[in-house]
Structure 1
Amino acid sequence: MSGLYTPLVSGLLFPLHERLKGHQTQAVFRRLEESQWRSPGELEALQIERLREFLAAIGRDVPYFRDLFAELGFDPQALAGLDDLRRLPTMGKAEIRANSDRLRATGAGPLARFNTGGSSGEPLVFYLGKQRISHDVAAKRRATRWWGVDIGDPEIVLWGSPIELGAQDRLRVVRDSLFRTELLPAFEMSLANMDRFLERIRRRRPAMLFGYPSSLSLLARHARQRGVAMDDLGIRVAFVTSERLYDEQRADIEAVFACPVANGYGARDAGFIAHQCPQGSLHISAEDIVVEVLRPDGQAAAAGESGELVVTHLATGEFPFVRYRTGDVGVLSREPCACGRGLPVLAEIQGRSTDFIVAADGTVMHGLALIYVLRDIDCVDEFRIVQESPQLTRVQVVAGPNWSDAIEHSVRQQFRQRLGESVEVVIEHLPAIPLEPSGKRRYVVSHVSP
């Protein structure tokens, strides 16, 4: 870690920043640093204890779960093991959308409004309390330190969420400057911009990169094509998340930036679920998150057997996620990791990918640049974006009764702002979005090569 500055930021400025925001991040982080070295049996006992307390609290304070537990005759205090959790039904985006008000805990503090990225084609609006945010930030920092870097080390972030890109007020700029974080927009991957990004990375010489695997690998390939050396900067690690990481993407990033790639699995709704350690294992943040793998019939899959990942986040008491269906398919490992941490391991993650979209002028954009146009429209239940050519994009929508001509006009206008004013945007209303032959749902399909 770099000199005296990083310890100053990570040990003083960052804890002060979190305390001023009303977060308990530092206390949670200290507990996580200790608990990761417990045995698998000790961590499971901790999970059960926390699960019992969590379910008792939401059964008392959250109207939705108070009624559900009464209907099922479910007593959280009688929970003896993780298997007892399966007495409760799973929940998905539809259940959350239909019960948003009743999922708020009575007396909950201020809740922040968030959106999913729409990776399933079904966007979701949900709410997070300060406890959940504190636990997620602490888990992310713990995983960052596995790689010998910390908050305060120079960082380049290649990202594109409107939350990150729209909050560049003075306080945010000052904070990023103090924490030595620089944001580059992943939605604007034109050739000229990628040249500029490479120049910025060379000038900053970051200790770590963070971004979408597709964006970082595209930038790596661009550097190779341009003949720009990026392997002499001392970058220690590239953290990737939000999409499935493919082997060729990992190879491109590692070769060009001369650093290992650390994969992460999670989502805004489900939380930071798993992080990769230097031994190569994706460790589940078991102190806060219970992960189940379910077969299509809803029964538990055995270790080594694939199934849908279902998540219970134990720090969501103010707006609970209990047995939440992620829509992703994964496999739990049969073996512990050689690193010595007792945290359970995800052997494989399947089912996440994001295509690039190519604008009429050749600019390559992350597919999420178009998804964000649709994901926060309440009357959109499902969607799929199909780019047929640089001049034609189809938007397939399953819309509710509140859809209007004004919304349709706004969608076309925003798509053309991103793709080009000459692009034809055809909106098709469907009763349902058909699945791929594989059974998976794709939310962006581009027939144009970047």
Structure 2
Amino acid sequence: MPRAMTALGDGTAPGDWADFAGLAKLQQEQLPATLAAARRSPFYRDRTFTTLADLPLTTKADLRDAYPFGMLAVDRAQLATYHESSGTTGTPTASYYTEADWRDLTERYTRIAVGIGPADTLMVRTPYALMLTGHVAQAGARSRGATVVPADNRSAATPYAKVVTLLHDLDVTLTWSLPTDTLLWAAAARHAGLDPGRDFPALRALLVAGEPLSRAKRDRIAEIWRAPVVEEYGASETGGLAGECPHGTLHLWADRAIFEVLDPATGRISADGAGELVVTPLFREAMPLLRYHIGDRVEVSYRDCACGWALPEVRVLGRFPTGSGITPVGLEELIFRLPATFGVLFWRARESDSGLRVQIEVEARFADAAVGELTAAIGSAYPIKPLIEALPPGSLVPPRVLTALPEIMKPRGLFHAGEDWDRALRYY
């Protein structure tokens, strides 16, 4: 049996099923209410459908065309929050949630394998403004009695040097961020004369989401900080979609949503396999989504896991920028397989008709070895000729980014003699 999970305000107890057949039964029991809720929104109201399979996919373009309230299925007086996506693939999309939706969002977030409670201090280092991710973490942590440090990652008030100070001085036990952000903290800590693996003894886990994560990068982060890395996967339009079990497997929350996989080459849709993720959230009031095509490349499989949760496994590969078959996760895996002694943390790559160009930050004494090993690894994995360029540390992430502590001030009208009154209406 899956572990017990907190009951929601609607009286359901997600996790109360014994196997994949029981999971499918739970989904089908909830689906009629989900379809009925969707019919209350302008977007789905005039569409003819009896079953989920009757509907075409709902796309990001549909959400953009429906802006701002074309997807709304309740009276606006019932809304608790409004959010927008990051816009990494185009114009941001709108999403909105009721208080009941928030109970669902919070419950899913607090399923994290390492647990969270009153003894924890969680530093939230994902965006707050408009995006959902920071608010979900804060709500989840507060619901379990934890202390929240709202560090944000879009605020001039919390540059990387300040983040290191907060981690150290407040005895932060858990963090919530992009995986890459943890590497930037490590570099900033070293600039401050601190050892990430020694000088932050309270830190017990790094909770990450927001970008595809390779096993090699995950292992490198854990090695640097001497703390486990726990992955989550979701979207602003849907909330959390997957989380890790105690055995380190990323599971789709299929008790809270129905998942499908689209093969973009054939148009075939199946329950598992490799392709692009399609999701139908269940228990959604404000903004029901039916067969929402997120677009992330995934691999989904239904097999037993030692955790006993009876939830499908997922591997998130990200979005493919080109048609060559190179994935962000695949390339990242090869880069972080380089020996840790090389110190390669920051990189970028660009693919063109002439091949793949990759730049890495690496000390001069390891440059030749790093270039040679990475050239061979990429050449073996992909039918493409890579050009690897070794850059001095600080080329991609300048030291000033890691050490700066900008002065933050409120707007002022009255200044004393000798003060710079050109800053009267500036915030920093």
TM-score by length of 2: 0.64
Amino acid at match of 1:150: G
Q: Could you tell me which amino acid in structure 2 is paired with residue 221 of structure 1?
A: A
1:449 lines up with 2:396 in the alignment? yes
* Preserved CA contact (<8 Å) 2:123 2:151: yes
Q: Residue 93 of structure 1 corresponds to which residue in structure 2?
A: 60
2:267 paired residue number? 298
CA displacement at 1:339 relative to structure 2 = 1.0
Residue 67 of structure 1: which of 19, 27, 46 is its match? Answer: 46
Q: 2:178 — aligned with what?
A: 212
The offset of 1:164, in angstroms, is 7.9
Q: Does 1:257 align with 2:190?
A: no
Q: What residue in structure 1 maps to residue 92 of structure 2? A: 123
What runs of 5+ residues in structure 2 fail to find an aligned partner? Answer: 1-5, 321-327, 330-383, 385-394, 398-428
Tell me whether 1:285 sits opposite 2:253 in the alignment: yes
Would the aligned equivalents of 1:241 and 1:263 in 2 still touch at CA under 8 Å?
yes
- Map 1:160-179; keep pairs closer than 5 Å: 160-163=127-130, 179=146
Name the CA shift for 1:153/1:186 in 2 (closer, same or farther; >3 Å).
same
Secondary structure at the counterpart of residue 290 of structure 2:
strand
More helix by share: 1
The whole-number CA distance in structure 1 between the counterparts of 2:247 and 2:30 is 28
- The CA deviation at 1:44 is 1.0
**Alpha-carbon distance between aligned partners in 1 of 2:232 and 2:10, rounded to the nearest angstrom:** 18
Corresponding residue pairs, total? 313
Secondary structure in structure 2 of the residue aligned to 1:27: coil
Equivalent residue letter for 1:228: L
Residue equivalent to 2:161: 195
1:139 maps onto 2:108 in alignment: yes
Among all aligned residue pairs of Structure 1 and Structure 2, give the percentage whose two residues are the same amino acid: 26
- Cα distance in 1 between the residues matched to 2:210 and 2:78: 26
Moved more, 319-328 or 249-258: 249-258
- Whether contact under 8 Å (2:14, 2:256) holds in the other structure is no
CA contact (8 A) 1:241 1:264 kept: yes
Task: Tell me the distance in 2 between the aligned counterparts of 1:238 and 1:62.
Answer: 38
- CA drift at 1:346: 0.7
Aligned Cα RMSD in Å? 3.6
Q: Is the 8 A contact 2:302 2:312 kept in 1?
A: no
Name which of 271, 276, 282 aligns with 1:314.
282
SS of corresponding position for 1:322: coil
Write the distance in 2 (CA, Å) between the matches of 1:108 and 1:161. 22
Q: Evaluate the alpha carbon distance shift between residue 189 and residue 281 of structure 1 in structure 2; reply closer, same or farther with a 3 A threshold.
A: farther
| Contact 1:264 1:282 (C-alpha < 8 Å) held by counterparts | yes
Change (3 A) 1:259 1:29: farther
* TM-score using structure 1 length: 0.61
Correspondence 1:39-438 to 2 at 5 A: 39-59=19-39, 61-69=40-48, 74-75=49-50, 79=51, 85-100=52-67, 101-105=69-73, 107=75, 109-111=77-79, 112-141=81-110, 143-144=111-112, 146-150=113-117, 153-163=120-130, 179-187=146-154, 193-224=159-190, 226-232=192-198, 233-296=201-264, 297-301=266-270, 303=272, 305-351=273-319
Q: CA deviation at 1:97?
A: 2.8
Q: Distance in 2 between matches of 1:204 and 1:30?
A: 37
> Separation in 2 of the partners of 1:311 and 1:66?
19
The residue number in structure 1 matching 2:412 is none
Contact 2:182 2:221 in 1 (8 A): yes
Change in Cα spacing, 1:188 to 1:95, as seen in structure 2 (3 Å) is closer
Which residue identity is paired with 2:231? N
Q: Work out the CA distance in 2 between the residues paired with 1:262 and 1:121.
A: 28
